[in-house]
Amino acid sequence: MILSVSRRTDVPSCFSDWFFARMKEGFVYMRNPMNSKQISKLELSPETVDCIVFWTKNPEPMLARLSELEPYPFYFQFTLTSYGADIEANIPHKREVMIPVFQRLSEAIGSKRVIWRYDPILFTNRYTPEYHVKAFRQMAEALSGYTEKCVISFVDTYAKNKKKLQELGVYDLSKEETEAFAKKLCEIARENGMMMASCAEQIDLSHCGIVHNACIDKVLIEEITGAKLKGAKDKNQRGECGCMESIDIGTYHTCGNGCVYCYANHSEEKVKENLRKYDVHSSILCGKIEESDKVTERKVVSLKEKQFTLFE
């Protein structure tokens, strides 16, 4: 199986100690987000976990402990944008802190295994297309040689973030403006040794040099693991999503990053309530097993088919 850590919350930034405790103990419990009384127990052995994909805005809490992941192949989806605290309230300063963290992570595990996500892109009176192009160029130059791919997406409006986005005055570009903007970013990425891809976008930007991305990337995972995989496309994601199937161990409404565009948090109050339940020693994130819960063991197996070489 491919372990996703996590689309639902920033585990590396907020819960890294809990994650390492789960990996050491060899299992984790997950509450079904669609049925809160259903809990799955998931084995986390190197024999069943083919690769771990981390999603984060700040992996710094993990950097000193990366050696503990040695039995597991892994890579990072590292979101690094140019927004200030009005958009991403609890992320450290980008230029002074986060760019150096990105560079340190890349130096530790290699540029191929750190994917730069400049997403989601939103436009306001402050964050204009011109602002993004200028900021993106500065970041791309700072990250040149530290990553091989940059992934972009444009902000999506959900019921959970609609009000905040309206308050910010977020607006859309026309199709022609979007394509011209995307082409500029792609040119900058190429100048700095990066390919560019889009994440779950309906708009086709291939003529701008931007390919549709798979964040849970079968090709990359096969390269990292040295084995072919039999995993299928993830049917639980949007149709535009190119990701292969994975299992996510995160919990909604627990992320402390405070991003206004987030779809995974119901409200600040709900997040605070759940964070009060956080126990690094608990087998389930931000909660505990209740007597009324139904716990079942989720049967998982390796997706590896066989070893292969580059000459096959």
Residue 221 is encoded by which pair of tokens? 């995972």
Beta bridge partners of 149: 195
The pTM (predicted TM-score) of the whole model is 0.94
Q: Which pLDDT belongs to residue 160?
A: 76
CB-neighbour burial class of residue 135 (10 A; exposed 0-12, middle 13-18, buried 19+): middle
Domain boundary assignment for the chain = 2-307
Residue 25 DSSP symbol: H
- Residue with the two structure tokens 């995989």: 229
Beta strands, E only, the chain: 2-5, 27-32, 35-43, 51-56, 74-79, 114-121, 149-154, 195-198, 211-212, 227-229, 247-248, 294-297, 304-307
Separate counts of helices (H) and strands (E) for the chain: 8, 13
Question: How confident is the model over 208-258, as pLDDT tens digits?
Answer: 899 888 999 999 999 999 999 998 888 888 777 889 999 999 999 999 999
In the β-sheet with 294-297, what is the strand arrangement from edge to edge? Answer: 27-32, 35-43, 294-297
What's the whole-number average pLDDT of the chain?
94
Q: 90-94, 151-155, 156-160, 229-233: lowest mean pLDDT where?
A: 156-160
Query: Which has the closest alpha carbon to 237: 261, 210, 216, 218?
Result: 216
